[in-house]
């Protein structure tokens, strides 16, 4: 292997390393927000220092109400990450359960679930989330629900495929004839197989959910002021954009970095977990 390819390989792993470290930093930022943020994100308002440019005290400047933008961005990580986490837990739970049901029972149950999955895939995620928001009304909790219900088709399909192949495996039949519970055996076979793909799906799904939360909050449908959500901050800063651009630049940058980190991390995970990619890199002999 020459130098060039050595660097390439490092870079490939760097996806995971760089993405992972940024995700870790953002997670720590969210957990230790009270220690990091110099001001309270909501109550430390002072109209006397409204819309001040970034300086030594307020490194990201202040907003219209005189609140410290940096502190609000730090606290905003809590909302974005919780959106990523909660929606993906709901999505994975729905997807894996439906996939298990469809694969295990087959027949009409399978047809129904797969029909539903296909219809879900034919409705763009944003549109589906908007439909739920239209029904439930604006608000952060509703947003969790909306995003949690929209993006489970992929984990459903993968789980179903794994159940079907596990069902065919001879040793499952054999174990069954020995009186072992079918479900217990299949779980032993299925879980390790879907863990990798589901991990990749949830990481990339979290990135997508955070982006969507920001977009919907920007539309005014998500967290309502004064909650410090990045999308919400951008939404309230719309009218001050030309006069106080720092109000828009920093929350936007925070979203961008978070989503980028998750995407890099997810890509890196996929490179490691996908056997097809692995085979490509090992330089196996051609047929």
Q: Which is nearer to another protein, 119 or 169 (CB)?
A: 119
Buried b or exposed e, range 110-133, using 16+ CB within 10 angstroms = beebbeebeebeeeebeebbbebb
Q: Which is nearer to another protein, 124 or 192 (CB)?
A: 124
* Nearest of 242, 244, 256, 253 to residue 67 by alpha carbon: 244
Q: Contact with another protein (CB under 8 A): which of 40, 44, 267, 271?
A: 267
Measure Cα distances from 98 to 112, 154, 265 in Å. 10, 11, 27
Closest contact distance (angstroms) between CB of 268 and another protein is 11
What string marks each residue from 201 to 220 as x (binds another protein by CB under 8 A) or -? ------x---x--xx--xxx
Q: Does 21 bind another protein (CB under 8 A)?
A: no
Q: Contact with another protein (CB under 8 A): which of 25, 27, 161, 260?
A: 260
Q: What distance in Å separates the CA atoms of residue 159 and residue 103, rounded to the nearest whole number?
A: 8
Q: Which is nearer to another protein, 88 or 189 (CB)?
A: 88
Measure Cα distances from 175 to 8, 164, 180, 238, 276 in Å. 46, 16, 6, 63, 31
Q: Contact with another protein (CB under 8 A): which of 138, 139, 196, 226?
A: 138
Q: Does 16 bind another protein (CB under 8 A)?
A: no
Q: Contact with another protein (CB under 8 A): which of 38, 124, 188, 225?
A: 124
Buried b or exposed e, range 182-207, using 16+ CB within 10 angstroms = eeebbeebbeebbebbbebbbbbbbb
Closest contact distance (angstroms) between CB of 96 and another protein is 21
Q: Which is nearer to another protein, 8 or 169 (CB)?
A: 8
Q: Which is nearer to another protein, 155 or 235 (CB)?
A: 235
């Amino acid at each position: 292997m020459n130098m060039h390819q050595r660097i390439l390989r490092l870079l490939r792993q760097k996806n995971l390393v760089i993405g992972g470290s940024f995700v870790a930093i953002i997670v720590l930022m969210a957990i230790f927000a009270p220690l990091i943020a110099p001001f309270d994100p909501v109550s430390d308002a002072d109209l006397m220092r409204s819309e001040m440019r970034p300086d030594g005290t307020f490194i990201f400047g202040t907003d219209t109400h005189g609140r410290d933008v940096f502190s609000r961005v730090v606290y905003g990580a809590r909302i974005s990450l919780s959106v990523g986490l909660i929606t993906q837990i709901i999505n994975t739970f729905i997807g894996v359960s439906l996939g298990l049901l469809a694969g295990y029972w087959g027949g009409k149950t399978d047809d129904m679930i797969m029909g539903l999955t296909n219809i879900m895939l034919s409705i763009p995620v944003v549109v589906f989330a908007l439909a739920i928001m239209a029904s439930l009304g604006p608000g952060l909790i509703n947003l969790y629900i909306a995003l949690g219900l929209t993006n489970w088709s992929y984990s459903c399909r993968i789980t179903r495929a794994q159940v079907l192949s596990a069902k065919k495996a001879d040793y499952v039949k054999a174990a069954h004839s020995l009186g072992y519970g079918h479900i217990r055996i299949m779980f032993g076979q299925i879980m390790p197989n879907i863990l990798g793909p589901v991990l990749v799906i949830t990481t990339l799904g979290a990135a997508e959910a955070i982006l969507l939360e920001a977009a919907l909050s920007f539309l005014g449908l998500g967290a309502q002021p004064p909650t410090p959500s990045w999308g919400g901050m951008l939404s309230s800063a719309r009218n001050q954009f030309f006069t106080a651009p720092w109000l828009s630049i920093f929350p936007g940058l925070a979203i961008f970095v978070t989503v980028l980190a998750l995407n890099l991390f997810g890509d890196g995970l996929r490179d490691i977990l996908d056997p097809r990619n692995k085979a490509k890199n090992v330089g196996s002999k051609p047929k």
